[in-house]
Structure 1
Amino acid sequence: MTGSTSNKIKAGIVGGAGYTGGEMLRILVNHPSVEIAFAHSKSNAGNYVYEVHTDLFGDTDLKFASELSNDIDVLFLCVGHGDAKKFLDANPIPALVKIIDLSQDFRLTASSKINDREFVYGLPELNRDAIKSAQNVANPGCFATCLQLGLLPLAAKGLLNEAVHITGTTGSTGAGQSLSSTTHFTWRNDNLSIYKAFDHQHLKEIKQSIHQLQPSYGRTINFVPYRGDYTRGIIASIYMDSDLSGDEALKIFEDYYAGHPFTHVTKRNIDLKQVVNTNKCFIQVAKHGSKLLITSIIDNLTKGASGQAVQNMNLLFGLDETAGLKLKATAF
């Protein structure tokens, strides 16, 4: 480890005051193998972290930094889309420092390189071996994670042969911390709306991953996302015509995720409170006549963002994949 004077990984966070930055701090503060070297924030420099993320009062006396340090082993970029590329163009980071980017800037193969860095797409259930040997990781999007985990087992068997229909609902934190008319409490509360129907930006990385496993897939993925009137979590229903029986489909999913510690498959009904505040994905597989219905649920801030980024860090540094991520669900 490049900057360590101990056995711990020294981590830096850029964008520490936002939602994903806050989740990163909450996880890393309690990670047994990590020391937080700095959490950078232009708007909150000099303030205690707990003055912004008030639940961390009593957990850390760290202050937000105005300057970067290169005395680190890994850098988490918890910044907005487009800002990660700008940051790396403006701030030379030593080649030995590993980077995990939570924006969408490097997720697609066509845009996965910047300067001398190349990013590996960081969905462990798809690219675990490649992540282990990578230097830089592009963390997947939240909807992309949820939907891919519901589709990849079929693609791996070459069984995605029909159009796919998806309805998914995400919590308000998925829109980021900046206020807009559709994130304001008075609009979002007791409300439900569709956005980016059939044209969500995460469809590109979903299709890229499907083609990685099943290059011949050329049917349409019809995705209608909803804004939910709650804070955290994504629930997606995915259905398509299929000749598989329910038991055959269930076994395909169970076999694919055997050995992946965070993704669990069941025939039972599932609900968001089972996964909120955890790095888990639960998948329910059911057959209804000729339709195969797959329900996938995650927390958009953990498995959909910061938790998965820490999972990727664990893989990069040869740690137990679940280190620091054995989190309790809200449950009720």
Structure 2
Amino acid sequence: MIKVGIIGGSGYTGGELIRILLNHPNAEIDFVFSTTRAGKQVSSAHADLTGLTNLEFTENVNLTVDLVFLCLGHGNSTNFLNDHSFSNNTKIIDLSNDFRLNDDAVFQGKEFIYGLPELFKSKIQKAQYIANPGCFASAIQLALLPMAKAGLLNEDIHVNAVTGSTGAGVSPSGTTHFSWRNNNVSWYKPFTHQHLGEINESLTSLQENPGKIMFLPIRGNFSRGILATAYTTFKGSLEDAFSLFQDFYKEAKFTHVTKEPIHLKQVVNTNQCHIHLHEHENTLLVTSAVDNLLKGASGQAIQNMNLMLGFEETAGLNLKAGVF
């Protein structure tokens, strides 16, 4: 059993990590760090864990722990690592955007590998430091990577993706509280979302100068999950497209291509990504669905941990969707 620490355990991603790790066959939680809830039981922030664990939040950090997850706000992981020096043997998985881009990947001599298993599995297996992908970035990249690998993203790619309110984090804001979000839909950050940088870097690692992504993020009136639709010019047949995608993901443990139309409930509460293809007049529509807190964050972080440490890739992640 490896010893694992969680920095920032009172938020949504920290809570999901705790839930998975409590039932992981190869890992044990050593500490859950929180400055705002130190001394309180973890269940005080995550009520569904009542009776399942006696873990308490702490302000003490074990700097020699086997692996640590950083679940801090964007920009705060660098500050935390400046203030805390983990041992040279400690593996780090960061869930913020601090180290995702190539220009930010080396910090204090640590090289962070971009943690998208469907693209960089072999690098992740050898890595000590991982930059976990963003939620929108995961859904959109998984929808587009096979076409980039085939050099087929030659024109603009139009992406519309709707996300649940948990994507905005646990701290309340004007656009996340129930009275505003319920029975309401709105767009935000049109064409400028911060995840575009990491998406473009992944695509260009497969295809030089891919088409421009025109991304419109949508706030949904539900709690969790992302449904992304991406469409661009495609001159092959629909069967050609399915063959392309199925071949690309033939070894993927959690990404599945289906000929049946998909919906969000299929993947919520799981680490799965489901993909469906539809063709219309030389335009290919790719729909992808993920849980923003799992495949888009904490579940993918555990998947990366499994790969880094040589565990079964699916360990702790055989989770059930709630489709009814």
2:64·2:87 contact (CA, 8 Å) conserved in 1? no
Tell me the distance in 1 between the aligned counterparts of 2:234 and 2:243.
15
1:40 to partner: Cα distance: 0.4
1:95 to partner: Cα distance: 1.4
Tell me the distance in 1 between the aligned counterparts of 2:172 and 2:83.
27
Deviations 1:282-302 (A, max 9, x none): 000111122100000000000
The residue type paired with residue 262 of structure 2 is: I
Structure 1 residues 80-95: aligned runs within 5 Å: 80-95=73-88
Q: Which residue of 1 aligns with 2:94?
A: 101
1:216 to partner: Cα distance: 3.2
**Counterpart secondary structure, 2:192:** coil
Percent of matched pairs sharing the same residue? 53
The residue type paired with residue 284 of structure 1 is: H
Structure 1 residues 142-181: aligned runs within 5 Å: 142-181=135-174
Tell me the distance in 2 between the aligned counterparts of 1:284 and 1:64.
42
Structure 1 residues 1-332: aligned runs within 5 Å: 8-217=1-210, 219-332=211-324
The residue type paired with residue 239 of structure 2 is: D
1:220 to partner: Cα distance: 1.4
The residue type paired with residue 273 of structure 1 is: K
**Counterpart secondary structure, 1:120:** strand
2:64·2:86 contact (CA, 8 Å) conserved in 1? no
1:94 to partner: Cα distance: 1.0
Deviations 1:226-278 (A, max 9, x none): 00000000001100111021000011000000011100001211000000000
Tell me the distance in 1 between the aligned counterparts of 2:236 and 2:93.
38
1:37 to partner: Cα distance: 0.1
Deviations 1:118-166 (A, max 9, x none): 1000000000000000010000000000000000001111111111001
1:193 to partner: Cα distance: 0.4
2:63·2:84 contact (CA, 8 Å) conserved in 1? no
The residue type paired with residue 180 of structure 1 is: S
Structure 1: tracts of 5 or more residues without a match:
1-7
The residue type paired with residue 237 of structure 1 is: T
Tell me the distance in 2 between the aligned counterparts of 1:242 and 1:71.
51
Q: Which residue of 2 aligns with 1:5?
A: none
2:267·2:290 contact (CA, 8 Å) conserved in 1? yes
The residue type paired with residue 296 of structure 2 is: G
Structure 2: tracts of 5 or more residues without a match:
none
1:225 to partner: Cα distance: 0.5
TM-score scaled to structure 1, two decimals? 0.97
**Counterpart secondary structure, 1:60:** coil
The residue type paired with residue 257 of structure 2 is: V
1:11 to partner: Cα distance: 0.3
1:184 to partner: Cα distance: 1.1
Aligned residues: 324
The residue type paired with residue 194 of structure 2 is: Q
Tell me the distance in 1 between the aligned counterparts of 2:290 and 2:51.
28
Deviations 1:193-250 (A, max 9, x none): 0000000000000000000011232x21100010000000000110011102100001
Deviations 1:170-194 (A, max 9, x none): 0000000111100111000100000
2:64·2:89 contact (CA, 8 Å) conserved in 1? no
Tell me the distance in 1 between the aligned counterparts of 2:60 and 2:150.
49
Tell me the distance in 2 between the aligned counterparts of 1:118 and 1:17.
27
**Counterpart secondary structure, 1:155:** helix
**Counterpart secondary structure, 1:58:** coil
**Counterpart secondary structure, 1:119:** strand
Q: Which residue of 2 aligns with 1:3?
A: none
1:320 to partner: Cα distance: 0.6
Deviations 1:61-100 (A, max 9, x none): 1000111012310000011100001100111111110000
**Counterpart secondary structure, 1:214:** coil
Tell me the distance in 2 between the aligned counterparts of 1:139 and 1:326.
20
The residue type paired with residue 278 of structure 2 is: A
